[in-house]
Structure formats: C-alpha cells, structure tokens
Amino acid sequence: MASGGSEKSVLSRVREYDQRMVLLRHSAALLHWDQETYMPAAGEEGRSEQIALLESLAHEELSSPVLGELLQEAGASNHVGIPGDLNESLLRELLRAHKRAALVPTRLIEELARTAGAAQSAWRRAREQAHFGAFLPSLERLISLRREYADAIGWEASPYDALLDEYEPFTSTAEVQGVFAELQPRLTDLTRRIGESGSAVDDDILHRDYPVEAQERFGRQVLKEVGFEFDRGRLDISTHPFSTALGADDVRITTRYNPRFLPSGIFGTVHEAGHALYELGFGASIRAGSLAEGASLGIHESQSRFWENMVGRSLAFWKYFYPELQRCFPAQLGDFSVEKFYRAVNVVRPSLIRVEADEVTYGLHVILRFELEKALIEGDLTVADLPDAWSATSQRLLGIKPSNDAEGVLQDIHWSTGAFGYFPTYALGNLYSACFAEALQRDIGSLDILLEQGNFAVILDWLQRNIHTKGRSLSPQELCVQVTGQHLRADAFLSYLETKYTPIYELS
C-alpha cells in the first residue's frame, strides 16, 4: 500500500465509494424485505423495476473504472492467506468484487433483478397451486441469465464455479463434490441404522393444536434471552423464513408458523436468530462498510445451524426453556416430560421438506438440490425435466417421493431469486458449526452446562469475539483456521451426530 498523506486520501475515497455501495445494497434489501412481508400483490411490477434500478446503480459503482484506479493506487491485492489489517482486508475484498463486477454488463444485472422480482411472485403462485408449470417459464429465463452471468465472470471446469464463488468465496465445485462424496454415504448409513434400530421416538405431541399467538409469544421470549435486540431488529412472518440486514442497527428476521406442527415456528425463529446475531455482532471498526458481512454464506449458515440445532435441539436448552413452553401450552404439554420432548424434536425420519428436516437427513436435502442445480447450469438437465429429476433424486437419497410439486421442486424460494450456487452453503454451514462448537467448548467449557443455566450471554460473547466481529475481513478458510486451528473437516459434524443420536436411538 502507498504510504504517507496520500494513502489516507486514497483510502478515504475508497471508503466513500464503499459506503455508497453499502447504502444502495441496504436500500434494495429493504425493498426485498417488504416484497416478502407486506407489499400488496399488485405492487409486483413496480417493485421489480425499483429493485432493478438500485441494483444497477450499485453495480455501476462497484464496476466503475474510477474505483479500479483508486484500488490500484492504494495497492490492493487479491492475495489470500496473508493476514493483514482491516484496511488491507477491505481493499482485498473490494478488488475481488470490482473485478467480478467489471466483467458483467449493467444490462445483465438489471435484467436479472427484474426477472427475479417477477419470478418470485410466479413461484409463490405456483407453490400455492402446487403446479410447477406456472413457474417453468420464469425459471428457464433465470437459468439462461445465470449461465450468461457465469460466462461473463469466466470459468474453467464448470460454469457452476462462477456462481458458487459468489456465495462461498475461494471454493470450487470439485471441492464441494469431494466433501459431499464423504458426507452422503455416512449420513445415509446413519439414517439406515436409526431406521433399523427398532427404537421408536414418539413425536405425535408435536402435531397437536398450537395456537400461533402463543407460538409467537414463546419465540419472542427465546429471541430476547439469546441476545436478539428488538430495538435493532424485528420479527415478522413470510412464506419462507429469512434474515436480512438493512443497516448496522436494523436487522430483520421472518418466520412461519404451523398451528399443527410446533417445531416449524420454534426452530425457524431460532435459525434466523443465528443469522441475525451474526449481522448484529460486526465490530465497530467495520460496521459501516463491505466488511460488515459474513465471511461466506457457509460461515453465516454455521451460526444459524449452531443456534437451531446444537443449542435449540439440545436437552440442556429445553431443561431451561421447557417450563416456559409448558406455560404457553399447558393443555398440550403439561403432562409431557422434557426428556420425551427432547426426543420428539430430534426424531430422525426421511421427510420431504428441507426446512423441517432433522439434523441427520438435512444434508441429503442439500445434496439433492446441489446435484440438480449443477446439472441445470451445466446444461445436463432441462427445466421441463426438473420435477421428474427431483422425484428420482429424492427417492435415491431419501427413499421417498413428493406427492406434488409444492412438496418437491417448488418448496424453496432460492431458485426464484436466481440464487444458484447457494444451496451447498447450508451443508458447509453444518460442518463449520461443529468445528466452531468444539473450539467454543475448548475455550469456555461445556455448552450443556451453560445452556442449562441459561447463560446465553457467555456463548454469544465467544461467538462475537471469535467470529462475528471479524466480518468479512478473513476468508472462510482463514477464519476457520484462526478459530479452530484446523481447516474445515467433516468428521467433527459426523462425530457430533453419532454422539447425539446413539443414545436417542440406542444404536450399537
């Protein structure tokens, strides 16, 4: 980097560019949030144009030759693996993003945003009707545009590489395939052993009548105790739960409730809380710029999966919260023990809906989507053949087929937004969460003891110090090594599953 007074001048100008781009992204995020929560149905066309304009303006800022010249003058380097200060990290991330943006025409960004806006509405209608044909033209157009985007970025082994790198930087399709090749047979084997164990877990209790108002009241109490700050965020309802940051002090989450299935609302809320706590925990020195983002979506997902599963589905968590849950639902749960409830929320049973899948089979849902979207992007699968391919892959991996499109190919919102390359990050998040949990317990002691005492502040403090405050200043690989002392590995997650489910199902 250049030195002396000129350095400050150049860096200051770079930061001004960065802050403008962040403001534009947050403005677009607000429109997306409103689209999924409160926007009238007739507002679809105008909203698509509004989002397209903001995203094109942000793209023009990021791809600007002026920014490229400033980054060059500041000595920005895209080298990975050399730890540096926050200025160096910001320059590295901006240079990487600038180079990608400069390769993609603004016209394509506008068209992607406009098409995705209309596609989300088409997806919602198709999902309500359980009819894939109503969504097919939109999906075909999005895939065509995403292929064009990948070609503009450039790729060597697969066009999917260019899309995956957007969500999981410095990670290739071949690397993900390698991880999944190790993960899938182990998950399949554990699922089979559980199914053959003869030790049934009764989860009928979860399918009683649970009024939504009481579910929301309990969810808000959990959010408050784990550290979600309602003066810096809010909780709403949407078709598909999500979390979004509209600013350093405005992070919003949504959930959905099923009055006949209690876990949907509870764990959807806790999952999104994990994302929100990450967004709210960025350090003061990075909160106004591009470093105030997750290191990757895999790292982001590690936080939601940690809170949802390693915390939220633990016996210790329910020993603390179950009395409150019983007060919310005395008729349903008053005579049901916490041990039985713990087993019920950890039932392992191949199911059709990813967001309601158990910990063991969840990864198989992700692998299914990865295989299909990779084939779509690489041209090995047509959109018209997607529903049949979904059913066949679901049968192969999970042993079950959907009875309609809403249970299958239409259940996720991601493809309607054009987010191809996103799904693998869910499984990578599971792996990261297990590695981080090992490091956490090494540093501050037993997670179960902390949870049973309701000592969530200690847990959140460790996560903030070691993960959240870093933001995007480190690559996901760098962060993992810094926190755990090792590179990402699957054995920590697989060991966690074996340790947890062996006593539940009395496995040998």
C-alpha closest to that of 306 among 76, 493, 161: 493
Is-contact 287 278, C-beta < 8 A? no
What's the Cα-to-Cα distance from 292 to each of 55, 63, 245, 285, 453, rounded to whole Å?
19, 20, 10, 9, 32
Q: 170 φ, ψ to 5°?
A: 65, 25
Active site residues: 272
Is-contact 300 429, C-beta < 8 A? yes
What's the Cα-to-Cα distance from 86 to each of 83, 174, 285, 336, 416, rounded to whole Å?
9, 31, 8, 52, 35
C-alpha closest to that of 6 among 74, 69, 66: 74
Q: How far apart are CA 218 and CA 235, in angstroms?
A: 12
| Plot region of 243 (φ>0 → left; ψ -120 to 50 → alpha; else → beta) | beta
Is-contact 478 470, C-beta < 8 A? no
3-state secondary structure of 250: strand
Instruction: Return the amino acid letter for 349.
Output: R
- Residue by residue, DSSP assigns 367-434 as HHHHHHHHHHHHTSS-GGGHHHHHHHHHHHHHS---SSTTTTTTS-SGGGGT-TT-THHHHHHHHHHH
Residue partners of 40: CB distance under 8 A and separation at least 6? none
User: Diameter of the chain by CA atoms?
Assistant: 73
Q: How far apart are CA 232 and CA 300, in angstroms?
A: 19
Task: Return the structure tokens found at 175.
Answer: 């690397």
Number of CB atoms found within 10 A of residue 38's CB = 11
Task: Return the structure tokens found at 36.
Answer: 């999924």
Q: How far apart are CA 392 and CA 400, in angstroms?
A: 9
